[in-house]
Structures are given as C-alpha cells and as structure tokens.
Amino acid sequence: MSQPDARSRASSSMISIHGTSAKAIAITFDDGPNPEFTPQMLNIFSEEGGRATFYMTGDQIERYPDTARLVHAAGHEIGNHSYSHPHLTELEEEAIRAELVRTSDIIRETVGVLPATFRPPYLATDAQVERIAHDLGLAVIGGVNGAARDWDMPGAKHILEASLAVTEPGSILVFHDGHGDRSQTVEAVRELVRALKKEGYSFVTASELLQMD
C-alpha cells in the first residue's frame, strides 16, 4: 500500500468527514477480506460494541468468501474497493466501470447485498472516477487519518496517536485488514476503540454516518 495521492483529492467529492452533531465516527478497513486479520478486527467490535465498514477488493472476496460472509453476518458494512486495486485515475472509463461493477456483483453474489459506498484504491480519485461511482449508486469515501500510515507498519503507537489527533464527530478513519502483516493495526485499533468509547463516541458504518444530521 502506497501513500495516498493528495493531488487527486483536490476539489473532489470524496467524503472524509461528515458534518453531524452526534459523537459518532466510522472506522473502516481496506484490502480484505483476510482470514487472519479480518476476524481479529471483528472481535474488537464484538467486545467493545459498534460496527465498522470493510472495503474489500473483488479478488480477495473470491479468495476468501467465507471471511466476507463472516463480516456481513456480524452486521458490518462491506464496501467496494475495486476488483484488483489499480490506480483508477490511470485507467480508461470502461476499465474503471468494469472494476467497480465486477466487485459490486461479487459482493452481491457472496453476501446478498449490493454495496452502497466505495473507496478508491490509494485514495486516488478524479472527476471521472467519482462520476462512475455515483452512476453506480456508490458514495465515494475517504479518510482523515492518512498520516497514520498503517500500511507502512510505523508502529501501533504512531497509528493510534496519529488517528486520535484528527478524530472528531463525523470523522472517517481508514485502516487496513489486508495486504500484509496487519498486527500493528489490530493493536492500534483495539486501543483506539477503547479510548474513544471512554470519550463517549459510538462506532457506525460509513452509510450510517452519512445518514446522520
């Protein structure tokens, strides 16, 4: 996983924070499902309460459909993260649409529900990517805590502190449950959820957050 392309986010409609008076945030995970780390993320919310959003790639769902079903059965949201995790801004329109449609179809075939939200790989987006996503009924979701860089394994302490520093009501936080060793992320998210729970935060899916006033 590489650094998100900040240039591609300029003037975009990607949502990283949603204005709400509720003390609620959306914790999200990319690049799964992963049979080792995704269940560990599920255990955190089973123990502490709340729901999360898992942005899955189509190819990973095909590899681990039972893990995807586990996420859905636990009441969490599954979002579209493309099929093969390309830089969508470098593709032609037909190829972009194929990446999103194929993954939405796989999600529907695997868990029986079409996704309502989409996260661009690498958070790389532009007007064309967002238009196609919106045409398919997908809200484009970003995240406020890119400085956490959990994909680089900078240490659980860094992931935790960088995420806490930017969390406020309506924040969307991005982490990873796939693409390599995610043990630091598991540790950081566990501590994050506990700390924010003590502060009175609730944990909702991306779709639920977008519906809040």
Q: Which residues are catalytic?
A: 30, 176
Q: 203 Cβ partners below 8 Å, 6+ apart?
A: 24, 25, 26, 27, 45, 48, 49, 50, 51, 52, 193, 196, 197
Four-residue CA torsion sign, 179, 184, 185, 186: positive
Residue 27 forms beta bridges with which residues? 173
Residue 26 has, within 13 A of its CA and on its CB side, a CA count of 32
Closest CA to 104 of 136, 131, 73, 72: 136
